[in-house]
Amino acid sequence: MKLVEVRTYRLKPGCAERFTAAVGTALPLVRASGMDVVAFGRSDHEHESFYLIRAFDSREQLVTQQDAFYGSATWREGPRQALVDCLDTYLNTLLWLPAEAVEHLRANHQA
């Protein structure tokens, strides 16, 4: 089983292109930090909504990896502000899924 985090972002009007560009910088950093990015993309139902799906082996791994990354100078001095400036709201949801389901998500939603 994998702990899957589904993070959804609702953007301020007119920010989709800036957000997409900033994510292009951020995702390689997230991956380089060791986090498993399963999928990222624009929501099918709203132009100003996006999702990020990551997988972890445990809640402890999630906390450790995210604390290290989001506390790093690489993030704080890098793409953080450009992304935050675009956000209206965001929501995290955690759920446990079989590893096969995670791989299915990955295969069908290239990040």
Contact 65, 104 (CB under 8 A): no
What is the fold, at CATH topology level, of the domain defined by 2-108? Answer: Alpha-Beta Plaits (3.30.70)
Per-residue CA distances from 86 to 21, 27, 34, 91, 101 (Å): 11, 16, 25, 15, 31
Residue numbers in the chain where pLDDT is lower than 50: none
- The domain locations on the chain are 2-108
pLDDT digits over 81-92, tens only? 999 999 999 999
Which pLDDT score, from 0 to 100, does residue 15 have? 95
Which pLDDT score, from 0 to 100, does residue 111 have? 60
Q: What is the token pair recorded at 32?
A: 């380089």
Which pLDDT score, from 0 to 100, does residue 47 have? 84
